[in-house]
Amino acid sequence: MQQKIFLKRSTRKTIWFYIFILPSILGFLAFVVYPVGRSLYLSFTDMQLTRPDEMKWVGLKNYLALFSGKDPFFWQALKNTFIYAVCNIVGTLALGLLSAMLLNVRVKGQNIFRTIFYVPSLLPAVATAIMFRWVFDPTNGIINTILRAIGISNPPIWLEGASTALLTLIIISLYAFGGKMIIFLTGLNGINRSYYEAAEIDGAGYWYKFVKITLPLLSPIIFYNTIMGTIGALQVFTEGFVVSGAGPGNSTLFYVLRLYNLAYQEPYRLGQASAMAWVLFVIIGAITAVYFIFSKYFVFYENEGK
């Protein structure tokens, strides 16, 4: 007790600092550092959880098996996931931006429209997935009922066709664009109106104002949401798992779905699954790095140089 009083102020500060951040340090070690190291190690082994004692070091075998084409599911899953991710990111950002600009025309009832567009993005992914399974039902679903009513006698069979299932999942995923819309609305509100007024005096049209003012000023938001969206979309799971169960014919087999089947079904092939997880990690890291390299050409920060 006595000693504490004589501790130097800076030492006391340091001690308090570590007391306060202790939960995060422990959490970081237990739930980030350890699993990262452990999964990297596991990826070089043939670990199966049902017989952990027989675990052997296999070197690069898991990785080679993925890339050599021995695992046909890997490339299929990677391809599906990339198509899904690109369409999902571009689609949700475009719909978000368009709807935000529409609402920004200062229409009456803005609040109602905002609610209608935003709430679907909050609903549990399982629930919307199951709901759309019924909506896209080939014989009795509302979509095909409407299509037949307007004279299309042979509408697509959506989730049950190998060529349309992935497209259908992408359409379903666009239903949750509302979060992006809210973000863009906030961004649009933050743009100083005098920029537009100045451009209008110079006789600028809509397209010019959009390209030269709106897009550059929103580019930091677009950039950040593209990165986080990529990380999320490449890990898509629920839609494929619930709605289509990877089928038909693996046309909606996603990367994480394949990984899930490897890791969490008997015999729990944690080694192979870890290799898959690390490949995904490297892919995400590489894409993020590319974004950052190119960001200086596309992303504009208003306060730069001030």
Residues numbered 19 to 78 that lie near other proteins (CB under 8 A) are 19-21, 23-28, 30-32, 34-36, 38-39, 42, 49
What's the Cα-to-Cα distance from 50 to each of 54, 119, 180, 258, 299, rounded to whole Å?
10, 43, 43, 19, 50
Closest approach of other proteins to the CB of residue 75, in Å: 18
| Residue 210 interacts with other proteins (CB under 8 A): yes or no | no
Closest approach of other proteins to the CB of residue 42, in Å: 7
* Cα 253 off chain centre by: 16
- Pick from 44, 117, 158, 254 the residue near other proteins by CB under 8 A: 117
Q: Which is nearer to other proteins, 65 or 135 (CB)?
A: 135
Name the E strands within the chain. none
Q: Which is nearer to other proteins, 70 or 108 (CB)?
A: 108
Number of residues that bind other proteins (CB under 8 A): 89
Closest approach of other proteins to the CB of residue 148, in Å: 9
Closest approach of other proteins to the CB of residue 221, in Å: 6
Sites for other proteins among residues 77-106 (CB under 8 A): 99, 102-103, 105
Q: DSSP letters of 225-262?
A: HHHHHHHHHTT--HIIIIIITT-STTTT--HHHHHHHH
**C-alpha–C-alpha distance, residues 273 and 48, integer Å:** 10
Asked if residues 96 and 226 have their Cβ atoms less than 8 Å apart, the reply is: no
Q: In the chain, count H helices and then E strands.
A: 16, 0
- Pick from 238, 250, 261, 295 the residue near other proteins by CB under 8 A: 238
What's the Cα-to-Cα distance from 43 to each of 62, 64, 94, 153, 271, rounded to whole Å?
7, 11, 38, 51, 5
Sites for other proteins among residues 118-157 (CB under 8 A): 118-120, 122-128, 130-135, 139-140, 142, 145
Closest approach of other proteins to the CB of residue 237, in Å: 6
Q: Which is nearer to other proteins, 165 or 180 (CB)?
A: 180
Sites for other proteins among residues 177-196 (CB under 8 A): 179-180, 182-183, 185-187
**C-alpha–C-alpha distance, residues 292 and 306, integer Å:** 22
Asked if residues 174 and 117 have their Cβ atoms less than 8 Å apart, the reply is: no
Write the interaction track for other proteins spanning residues 242-281; mark x where CB under 8 A is met and - where it is not. x-------------x--x---xx-----x--xx-xxx-xx
| Residue 221 interacts with other proteins (CB under 8 A): yes or no | yes
Asked if residues 132 and 123 have their Cβ atoms less than 8 Å apart, the reply is: no
**C-alpha–C-alpha distance, residues 288 and 162, integer Å:** 31
Beta bridge partners of 57: 45
Q: Is 60 helix (H, G, I), strand (E, B) or coil?
A: coil
Closest approach of other proteins to the CB of residue 127, in Å: 5
Q: Which is nearer to other proteins, 61 or 133 (CB)?
A: 133
Closest approach of other proteins to the CB of residue 7, in Å: 13
Binding range to other proteins, per CB under 8 A, among 53-61, 74-82, 162-170, 176-184: 176-184
Closest approach of other proteins to the CB of residue 279, in Å: 10
